[in-house]
Structure 1
């Protein structure tokens, strides 16, 4: 597996793979902001809409490739306000259903943490569906549970579910590793 940070142009030229990943994730039941069944056109439009924020430096997107296709992705959203530039939000950690359980999610998470630290970010935060496999991943990776909000979002099937808010302090250790290429087998 290879993980790369996508440029806005690479995002646009990778739309088929990113669209496949997003539709597989949503149609497989993961709560990442969409209802199932997710149409490929809507998924591609959503990815296209990310390019402007990437151009502006407010969003970073990484893609994990294995066997020539995108098998996972993660994003970081950077605030545009001066009083919050020490933090970033981890967004849309997704792994294709047939690639789960192989360390892809953990590799993407570590990649985003290293990049955030290298950018001077000291605090990360995220939300995830309470009780989801993603929640277990974040806990095992040292993220701290801040609390839960009931009925926060609908699952892809339309059921209201709580979300758990997590945060993690990061720093020098992650930044020191930021220049190493991200490769995994």
Structure 2
């Protein structure tokens, strides 16, 4: 029997029911991504308790103004996720922020990040969005990943991010028209 295609390995759900178990699994993923060096708002080392307050605030608007997109494995486990954030302005209702993009470290290198971003394109179109905006931390190479998926750098703020004293990074703004 043939191995399932990459696209068949994940199922994407917009705004899944945020049960306690799913919330814990998302927070565990966030913790593991951070501790593996991912640029998702924290500096390692972190514990789930460090991330929980930010996660709870992030998830509170999901299903209303923001939308959580989760990629699940065939076993129903979280492999990757992101948030499509509302801009907070009716003048910008035609685009969304892409926030907290992460692929669990045990699933990295399989193309799941690209699948997640393509699923985000589809979900955003379904919400009526015409463009997606995101920021990345300079010096990580993630801007190249997003560029390969159709994002264009539109600006940067030098030294806007300071993971540790003496390690100042640019914040890079990128846009993708849908």
Bucket of the pairwise TM-score, normalised by the shorter protein: 0.7 to 0.9
Correspondence for 2:82: 74
The match for 2:71 among 32, 41, 64 is: 64
Deviations 1:115-165 (A, max 9, x none): 11121111211100123242222110111111221112133x563211211
Name structure 1 gaps, 5 residues minimum: 171-185
Q: Would the aligned equivalents of 2:151 and 2:176 in 1 still touch at CA under 8 Å?
A: yes
1:99 aligns with 2:73: no
Query: Structure 1 residues 6, 82: CA separation in 2 closer, same or farther (over 3 Å shift)?
Result: closer
Q: What is the root-mean-square deviation in Å for CA atoms of aligned residues?
A: 1.8
TM-score relative to the length of structure 1: 0.82
Q: Would the aligned equivalents of 2:139 and 2:169 in 1 still touch at CA under 8 Å?
A: no
1:19 aligns with 2:44: no
Q: SS state of the match for residue 143, structure 2?
A: helix
Name structure 2 gaps, 5 residues minimum: 1-9
Deviations 1:157-176 (A, max 9, x none): 56321121100111xxxxxx
Distance 1:134 1:152 in 2: 16
Distance 1:53 1:12 in 2: 16
Q: SS state of the match for residue 71, structure 1?
A: strand
The match for 1:38 among 31, 46, 56 is: 46
Q: Would the aligned equivalents of 1:125 and 1:167 in 2 still touch at CA under 8 Å?
A: yes
Distance 2:14 2:174 in 1: 23
Correspondence for 1:138: 146
Correspondence for 1:117: 125
Larger RCO: 1 or 2 (CA < 8 Å, sep 6+): 1
Deviations 1:22-57 (A, max 9, x none): 1111111112111221121122332222332124x2
Correspondence for 1:180: none
